Chains A and B, each alone.
Chain A
Amino acid sequence: MSIDWSAFTPWPALSGGILIGLASVVLVLWNGRIAGISGILGGLLSRVEGDNAWRLAFILGLLAAPWLWAAKHHGSLPQSSFSPASPWEWGQLVVGGLLVGFGTRLANGCTSGHGVCGLARLSLRSLVAVLIFMSAGMATVFMTRHLAGV
């Protein structure tokens, strides 16, 4: 392992994390709900009658964020230099999306529901989920970047 100090951004990471935590606190104290993105999307997509208005409002808030960011930063939206070049890389996105969708619904949570809210609530169930998905993610990157050489 070698740490890439040039890419390390401790202060934005820490303050961004604190914002995410505050967002979860707002949702639990005012709405009584867990800020789990996969659960919120799953609730919206299931055509079962339910209390979906707050879910829609939350997602609209998520969608508003890049525009607020742009307004504050001279009109530039947050962009990534990420651009898949080969069909293989687009395939990774598609297969990745399918697995993330199915897996997070099966496990009842993703990085936000288990990772942030679950760990903040000291849930052992969430700790197990986080350790598994972090390890699986690291193992996958190891295989695609260092074994397959892509």
Chain B
Amino acid sequence: MKLLTAFISGTLFGLGLILAGMTDPLKVLAFLDVTGRWDPSLALVMVGAIGSAAMGFAYAGKRRHTLLGDKLQLPERRDINTPLIVGSTLFGIGWGLAGYCPGPGVVGLWAGSLPAAVFVIALFFGIEAHAWYDQERGQGDADKANADS
């Protein structure tokens, strides 16, 4: 059952990305291009996503268990630290360069897009590089224990 709901969630997520136009890097870049010919569409994607998610999370926040009776694993971190700031800056630069963030990259990969495939391969190397960096610092376990996502 849990695998089915995770699969359904992934499918809805992917269909949402496609419908919203986020799987097209040109549309994403047009949103980020505020000083050029700006396409504000993605702001509405965020409004729709955050608005509908907020209702669900408000309800989830009142519960201690999932609808299937397991423990709810919500992030508890509140600290605004250097990794958050540096990591988000690097992510933003990469997003602006490629026009892909992780979700649309994965969806585009299966839609047979070569640029998406190139992006996802580089993405995996970036994730691996961080895993290596994390291990070198010896803080891997502490960070994973209270990750946001």
Which A residues are within 8 Å of any B CB, using their own CB? 1-4, 7-10, 12-42, 45-46, 48, 53-55, 57-69, 77-84, 90, 92-126, 128-130, 132-142, 144-146
Contacts and interface: CB of A to CB of B under 8 A. Distances in A.
Given A34-B148, A58-B9, A97 B126 contact: yes
A110 to B, nearest CB: 5
Contacts of B126: 97-103, 105
Interface string B1-24: 111111111111111111111111
A13 B102 contact: no
B38 to A, nearest CB: 5
Interface on chain A toward B: helix, strand, loop, or mixed SS? helix
Contacts of B77: 108, 125
Contacts of B36: 2, 141, 145-146
B48 A17 contact: yes
Interface residues on B, range: 35 or more
B115 A25 contact: no
Given A80-B108, A98-B129, A126-B148, A2 B38 contact: yes
Contacts of B52: 17-18, 21-22, 25
